Amino acid sequence: MRRRGAQFWLWTNSRLPLHTHEEVLGNGLQVEVQARISVEGVTQVFVGIYDDNGWAICEEFHDRRAGEHYCTALKWGAQRAREWLADTQAFVAPHRPQLTLSPVITDEPTLALRRMEMTDRERLKIRSEDAWSEYLAAKTAMLELMRTSKVDPRVWSDHKERLRQAIDRRVCVQRAYLN
């Protein structure tokens, strides 16, 4: 059973017919996308992401173009949910299992602006810039640590892991960006 948040209750309208797409991801997260046509003829999409217990993690709704088919809107909503999850889930390098960094961007207004519709090329460019800035920050932190006279072994291993993950993230994003 899903525990709906405020965004769902603001969006819901029982008089309008809707179409639903639902997914359960491997980690237990549930994705629900609903599309409907408003009275004015505008296609509207609701995107909800819920944890394995049904609690709302993210709920949002969007007005799409007038006359857009609901199938297209459902596909867009599913892609939007994947992007939201990719932006908020920890990065995992595809070539080796490891513990990873949290997302580079933590400022909510910045994340919201990044989630706006943009081309794949623009999205990859932003991810590339984020990966580069994270790499520079990790490198600077490691260099400062190397300049100190005494270093705790746990702090050293944490900084070393951060730098290695920043390098992995940068390489992975660059490969996608250059293709």
pLDDT in tens, the chain (179 residues): 788 888 888 888 888 889 898 888 878 888 999 999 888 888 999 999 998 888 888 889 888 888 888 888 889 998 888 888 877 765 555 555 444 444 556 666 766 666 665 677 777 777 888 888 889 999 999 998 888 888 888 888 888 988 988 888 888 877 776 66
- Can you give the residue ranges of every domain in the chain? 1-89, 90-179
Q: How far apart are CA 4 and CA 164, in angstroms?
A: 39
Q: Which two tokens stand for residue 34?
A: 């609903």
Helix or strand holding residue 59 (H, E): strand 56-66
pTM of the model: 0.51
- Give the list of residues 6+ apart from residue 32 with CB closer than 8 angstroms, or none: 2, 20, 21, 22, 46, 47, 48, 49, 50
- Please state, in angstroms and rounded to a whole number, the distance separating the CA atoms of residues 109 and 115: 10
